[in-house]
Amino acid sequence: MSLNSQMFHIVINGCKNVHIQGVKIIAAGDSPNTDGIHVQLSTDVEILKTSIKTGDDCISIGPGTKNLWVEQVTCGPGHGISIGSLAKDLKEDGVQNVTMKRTTFSNTQNGLRIKSWARPSTGFVEGVRFTDSVMRNVQNPIVIDQNYCPRNENCPGQVSGVKIKDIIYTDIRGTSSTPVAIKFDCSTKNPCTGIKLQNVNLTYLKKAAQSFCSNVVGKAVDLVRPDSCL
């Protein structure tokens, strides 16, 4: 157990062949920068059967992460599971081959999120599989945000150079606490490509939710609710 860390609880940085299982992470929902597990510049990492309650991202995935497997993780409170923030630096390694299975989000700010600063970068995200997730009262269940620019500092008027492709969401279900349950807000210069939604069922207040798409190319297969804008 990791309890009330002053900053990130666990950081996997520059590692290979890491196995995390049966970990419990707890911090107050309003505690800043208390990310549960942060992974960056690492290859072949597994995070299994872990419970994370925190004030920031439950799991955050930084540049240079390759072959990451996350399964049976519960998240909440917290900001969800995030790939990013990316594009902090102009020269940045990509994120590739990430699998998330059997995850549960309860009263979180986000569910499955990919985010990059709105500025130039050599970074990329590709080969991501989000499978079998349950959302319970999540503000942004599915979100790609390439226009991340808090307080409008260091990025106004710029666009993200991060290339996002081959991202598949399968069997994602539950409830959104806001009307827009699926949001793909991609880069005008580098649109998201190969985005696929399959068997997604997200509702808002027991009625239909909404989707938002900007600069994204992809397809919806089988049942997808809210109605896809891909």
Q: What residue type is 214 in one-letter code? A: S
Q: For residue 10, which of 63, 65, 47, 64 has the smallest C-alpha distance?
A: 47
Q: Which one of 9, 35, 56, 57 is the catalytic residue? A: 56
Rounded CA-CA distance 166/1 in Å is 35
Q: Is 79 a catalytic residue?
A: yes
Angular region, 88: left φ>0, alpha ψ -120 to 50, beta rest: alpha
CA distances (Å), origin 130, targets 29, 71, 146, 161: 24, 10, 19, 23
Q: Which one of 38, 79, 145, 185 is the catalytic residue? A: 79
Q: Is 56 a catalytic residue?
A: yes
Q: Are 171 and 132 in contact (CB under 8 A)?
A: yes
Q: Are 46 and 18 in contact (CB under 8 A)?
A: yes
Which active-site residues does the annotation give? 56, 79
